Amino acid sequence: MMMFSIEHVLMMVATILLCTVVPSIMRRNPRRAELISYGLAGTLLVNIFVYQAYRIGAGYWSITTDLPMHLCAWANIVTAAALITRRPALIEIAWCWVMTGSVNALITPQLDNSFPEIPFIYFVVGHTGLITAVCAAVFGLNIRPRPGAWLRVMAASQIYFVCAIAINHLTGSNYGFLDPSDPFRNQTVLTIFPNDGPWFYLAFEFAGAALFALALLPFRYGEKT
């Protein structure tokens, strides 16, 4: 799927429509809200398992590309858990991760497949479905980020950051696009980061902190944390 191709544009339009319609339905009908919450959570989790099974069955699976170690994969799991448990802390983490990393991935897809190939469906569910799910949690279930959310999200992000760097070092992979030499950086906002290893990671931290604050700004909590 090429960036800004017809498929890509349609996917972005569908995402906007779903993020508007689904929370609205949930607010009007609490019984449907329950079903939608579990349905979205189940869809996100099943999507991960189906894709892993597809990669293994097709003989494509590789430790350097197929571990669920990209931030979007973690965001899928956290968002599913948030919809099931309705824990505010999980919803805060999901909101920030999805509205920064996942939205950027949706706008700048790194995908060579098109519909109806399984990788394409996996990408759509794991991004369009994920963004819809986190909007359903925040606006459909009306569980908003609380004061102190920024600090909690930053703490959770350090866990991901350290795990991704460690796995990348052990396997020679590029999970989280944390390799400073990654050519895909030229297609994303990551081009603003320096190429030198330590400075690259430090810049990544500062950028994440700023983006999380912006994601929380509509709730007027970024300035209080």
Which tokens in the block code for residue 199?
């400075």
**Among 37, 161, 165, 50, which residue's Cα sits nearest to residue 91?**
37
> What pLDDT, on a 0 to 100 scale, did the predictor assign at position 225?
41
Q: Return the percentage of the chain with pLDDT > 90, whole number.
A: 61
Q: Supply the pTM of this predicted model.
A: 0.87
Q: How many CB atoms lie within 10 A of CB 53?
A: 12
> What pLDDT, on a 0 to 100 scale, did the predictor assign at position 1?
64
The dihedral through the CA atoms of 25, 116, 125, 135 has a sign that is negative
> What pLDDT, on a 0 to 100 scale, did the predictor assign at position 196?
59
